[in-house]
Structure 1
Amino acid sequence: MPLTAPGATPFTPATMQFVRGQFAYLERDPHGTRRLFFENSGGSLRLREASERALEISHYPDGSSRPHKVARELARIQDQGEADLLAFFGGDSSGALLPTATASQAMFTVVRAVAENVAGTNIVTTAIEHPSSYDACARYAHRTGRELRVAQPDRTTGGVAPGAIAGLVDSSTSLVSVIATSNISGAITDIPAVVKAVRDKNPDVHVIVDAVQYAPHGVIDAEAWEVDAVSIAPYKMFGDRGHAFTYLSNRLARLDHDRVAGAGVGTWETGSSAPAVFAGFTAIMDYLVAVGGTAVGTDRRAGIVAGMHAIQSHEQAILRTLIDGTEQRTGLRDMPGVHVHFADQAMSSPRDLIVPLTFDLRSCADAVRAYEELGVIVYERVATSHYSERILRSLGLEEVVRVSPLHCHTLEEAEHFLTATEKVAQHATG
C-alpha cells in the first residue's frame, strides 16, 4: 500500500468522457433535477452495466448447480465472478470467499470465528473502526472473556499509526482488526506496516481488514499484505446494494464455522449464491480494465490494478483541487469561515478522496441543507449518531460535513463545489 497515490494526474479527455458515460444519474437525480453528488462514501454512483448485467441474470429461473445448458451458463458466470474477486483482492487461490448480504454481516461472522477458535486473552482494534468491526470485536471479546484493546488515532493525520496498534499486541493477542481507510477522516492505514509491526510481536496473530471504504479508491493486495481477511461491499464501488464479499486466508478459512455438513472444511458459502451478483461484479472489473487501458490479453489482475492506479491518480488531482484550489477558485484550506480537517496532511499522508469540513457560521447539518439548495449532495457525520460518535470524538470532533467525490467527477466539478462552499460559508444560520 503506497504512502501516496502514484501521482496526481487527471484522466485524459477521452478517458474522462468514457468514464462519465458509464454512470447512471451522474448529472441529474432520478427525478431529473441537476445535482452534484459528492456523497459517494455513503454508497457510490452506479455503473449502468453492473446493474443491467445483474438484472439480466437475475431473471433466469435456473439454478447454477443443475446439469442443463442454462444452468451451466450460470455456473460459468459465477466461476468468472469468483475468479474476478480473487483477482481484485490479490488473494491466494488456496483461500476462500465469503459471500454475504452486507460487509457488516461478514465482519461479525469472521470475528466470531477467530474469537471462538484461536487461543488468546485479548483482541486489538482501533477507535476509528466502522461499528460493524468495532462492535463485532467488542461483542466477541465479551462473549469469550477477552480484553478489548483500542488503539487511538493521531489527531493531526486522522489515522492510526502502525506503532499505536502494535503497542497493544502481545503473545496472547488472537486478533487485530483494522480499517483500511477511515470513512470520516479519509486517512489510509498502512496495512503492510501494521502487519509487520504486529507480527514482529506475535507471529501467529490473525489480522482482518475492513476495506469497504478503501476498495473503490486503491489497490487491495491480500496475499502481499499477508492478512487473514479483507471485506468489500460493491455498493461502495459502483455496484448494487444487497451483497458483499470477504476474502479469507487459507488458515482462517479452515477455522470452525457454520456450514452444512456436506460442505468442505474451507467452504463459507451457506446455501446457493445468486449468479447475478457475480455477473455484476465481473462488469465492474471489466470497467476497471477498460479505465486502465491495458492491452487485450493482459493478465486480469494486472488490468484491474492498472485501472485502480488510474482512478487513484485522478482522484488525487480532485483532492488537490479541493484543498488548494485553482487560479480561479480559493481552495478549502484558505477559504474564510471554512475548516478542512487534516488538510496539512492531505498532500503528504495516505489520503482517500474524503474531505471533512466544519463551518464558523453554520452547524454541519445546516450546511448540508444549504449545499442541497445549491444542487450539491454531501452528508453530515455527527456525534449523536452511533455510527459516528466514537470515531469523531477520538479525533477531537463533534461533527463534520463529509465531502466524498468519485473518480467520475471532473476538476471543473471540484471547482463548482468550491464556489458552492463559498456561498455556504458566507451566510449564518437563519
Structure 2
Amino acid sequence: MSRTTPEARPFSARTMTFVREQFAHLERDVHGTDRLFFENSGGSLRLRAAAERALDISLSPDSNSRPTRVARGLARVQKQGEEDLLAFFGGHRDGALLPTATASQAMFALVRVITDHVPGTNIVTTALEHPSSYDACTLHAERTGQEFRVAPADQGTGGIDPRAVAALVDAGTSLVSVIATSNITGAVTDIAAVVAAVRAKNPEVYVVTDGVQYAPHGIIDARAWGVDAVNIAPYKMFGDRGNAFTYLSPRLAALPHDKLAAAGSDTWAVGSSAPAVYAGFSAIVDYLAAVGDTAPGTDRRSALVAGMRAVHAHEQALLRTLLDGTDNQAGLRRLPGVHVHFADRAATLPRDLIVPLTFDDLPCTEAVRAYEERGVIVYERVASSPYSERILRAVGLEGVVRVSPLHCHTLEEIERFLRVTQEIAEKGRAGE
C-alpha cells in the first residue's frame, strides 16, 4: 500500500473510475500502443468532453453577435465560459479577461502595457521564469530604459523565496513577474507571500504571475493572492491547444491598451470571439465540479475548488508514492543510481506533481529513450536547450529527466513506473 499524509489522499475507487473514463488516450497512444503518459508538463492528457463540446460549438457558422436564436445560444455559451473563467481565477467581477492564442502571447502583451504606462526605474523577476515572462521583461526593460533585476532560485528547494524577490524591490519598481510553479523543478511559489513582501516595500507595484503550470494542480485565487494578472493555458489542464486566458485586476484592466474604439475601456479581447473555446473551458469546470462531488446547487467557484482540492490530494498521494514507494516497490529515493532532486524538502514545502531526476550512469536524453522503449513517456530538460539552460543552471543542474503524471493516474501505474526506473538504473549500472 502507498504511504500517505493527511494532505495526500487517493481518490476513492468510484472517483478513480469516473476520472479515468473522461480522458482520451489514457492507456494507449493514437496508434493503439500501450503506454504511460508521464509528460503532462509538456501539455496534458485531454478531456473528451472539452474537445467534443468545443468541436460541436465550432461547427456552427453563426456569429454570436447576431440577433438570431442560434446566435443567442452561442452568446450564452460564451457568457457561461467567461463566468466559469472568473470563478476559476477567483477574481473580481470588475476585473477583465484577456483571451489569446497562447499564454506566452498574453505575457508579452501585459508586460508591454505595464511598462508603457506605469512609471518606474526597474523591473524584477526570477531566475525560474518561463521564457515568455523572462524574455518579455528583458525586452521591455531594455526598451523603456529600466534596470532588469533577477531574484535567484533556491538551489535547495528548486523554488523562489519571497524574501529574495522583495530584496530587489524599491520605490522605483514598476513590475514584478513571478512564476507560480516551476515547470522543471515542480516547486510552488507562495504568491500571496511574494505580493505581501513586495508591496510592503512598494504598495503601487504591479505583480503578474505565470499560472500555466500551476493551474492543473492547485487552486488559483487572484483576489486572495493580490496579483494584477495571472494567465492559464487550457492545453496544460486537460483542454485543447490554441487558446489561453488571462485574468486582469481592475486597475490593470483600466490601463490604456489595444482595443477597438467602440469597445469598453476594460475590454481586452480584440476582434470576433470564438464561443467554442469558452465551451471547452466550461466542460473542464463541469468535470472539476463533478470530481469535487458537491451538493446540487453549490455555487460554481465552491464546486470547482472542491474538485481541485480532491485533485491536489490525489496527486500528492501519487507524489509520495513516487518518492517513497509502496510495500512492494522501492521509491525513487531508495533506488540505487537514481537521484530525485529537491525531494528532501518535499514533505515540508508545497510541490506539484513534477519530479526531476537523474541517473548516475545514463545521460538524460538516453534515459528518456530507455523509458519510451518500455512504454513510458517522460521528457528531458537539458542545458543545451535555450528554453531550459537558464532555469537548470539557476538550480545547479545541467539536465534532468522530468516526470509529470496527472491526477488521472493510479497508484498502480506509479508502481509500474518505479519498476521501469529500477530496471533502467540497473542496466545503466551494468553498462548495458
Bucket of the pairwise TM-score, normalised by the shorter protein: over 0.9
Paired residue for 1:406? 406
Q: Which runs of 4+ in 1 moved over 3 A?
A: none
Q: 1:380-428: CA deviations, max 9, x gaps?
A: 0011111101000000000000000000000010000000000111123
Contact 1:6/1:309, CA 8 A, preserved across alignment = no
Q: Distance in 1 between matches of 2:60 and 2:6?
A: 42
Paired residue for 2:193? 193
Paired residue for 2:106? 106
**Mind listing any 5+ residue stretches in structure 2 that lack a counterpart?**
none
Q: Distance in 2 between matches of 1:114 and 1:10?
A: 43
Q: Distance in 2 between matches of 1:6 and 1:74?
A: 43
Q: Distance in 2 between matches of 1:66 and 1:145?
A: 46
Paired residue for 1:136? 136
Contact 1:98/1:247, CA 8 A, preserved across alignment = yes
Tell whether 2:345 aligns with 1:369.
no
Q: Distance in 2 between matches of 1:294 and 1:246?
A: 27
Q: Distance in 1 between matches of 2:273 and 2:10?
A: 38
Secondary structure at 1:272 match in 2: coil
Instruction: Within 5 Å, give how 1:283-302 maps onto structure 2.
Output: 283-302=283-302
Instruction: Within 5 Å, give how 1:24-423 maps onto structure 2.
Output: 24-423=24-423
**C-alpha deviation, 1:31, in angstroms:** 0.3
Report the TM-score, using the length of structure 2 for normalisation: 0.98
**C-alpha deviation, 1:6, in angstroms:** 6.8
Q: CA 1:6/1:265 → structure 2, altered by over 3 Å: closer, same or farther? A: farther
Match of 1:266, as an amino acid?
D
Contact 1:158/1:342, CA 8 A, preserved across alignment = yes
Q: Distance in 2 between matches of 1:389 and 1:230?
A: 25
Q: Distance in 1 between matches of 2:201 and 2:421?
A: 47
Q: Distance in 2 between matches of 1:171 and 1:314?
A: 43
Q: Distance in 1 between matches of 2:66 and 2:179?
A: 39
Contact 1:82/1:278, CA 8 A, preserved across alignment = yes
Q: 1:62-111: CA deviations, max 9, x gaps?
A: 00100000000000000000000000000101000000000000000001
Contact 1:210/1:230, CA 8 A, preserved across alignment = yes
Q: Distance in 1 between matches of 2:273 and 2:336?
A: 52
Contact 1:381/1:400, CA 8 A, preserved across alignment = yes
Secondary structure at 1:427 match in 2: helix
Q: Distance in 1 between matches of 2:424 and 2:136?
A: 38
Q: 1:164-195: CA deviations, max 9, x gaps?
A: 00000000000000000000000000011000
Q: Distance in 1 between matches of 2:273 and 2:130?
A: 26
Q: Distance in 2 between matches of 1:334 and 1:129?
A: 31
**C-alpha deviation, 1:260, in angstroms:** 1.1
Q: Distance in 1 between matches of 2:78 and 2:256?
A: 25
Q: Distance in 2 between matches of 1:160 and 1:424?
A: 32
Secondary structure at 2:427 match in 1: coil
Secondary structure at 1:137 match in 2: helix
Q: Distance in 2 between matches of 1:347 and 1:51?
A: 36
Q: Distance in 1 between matches of 2:348 and 2:424?
A: 28
Q: 1:276-328: CA deviations, max 9, x gaps?
A: 00000000000000000001100110000000000000000000000001111
Paired residue for 2:18? 18
Q: Distance in 1 between matches of 2:348 and 2:217?
A: 17
**C-alpha deviation, 1:273, in angstroms:** 1.4
Match of 2:235, as an amino acid?
Y
Secondary structure at 1:269 match in 2: coil
**Mind listing any 5+ residue stretches in structure 1 that lack a counterpart?**
none
Q: 1:309-359: CA deviations, max 9, x gaps?
A: 000000000000000011111110111000000010111111000000000
State the aligned residue count: 426
Q: Distance in 1 between matches of 2:273 and 2:193?
A: 35
Paired-residue identity, % = 70
Q: Distance in 2 between matches of 1:347 and 1:425?
A: 25
Contact 1:107/1:132, CA 8 A, preserved across alignment = yes
Q: Distance in 2 between matches of 1:414 and 1:91?
A: 35
Contact 1:383/1:398, CA 8 A, preserved across alignment = yes
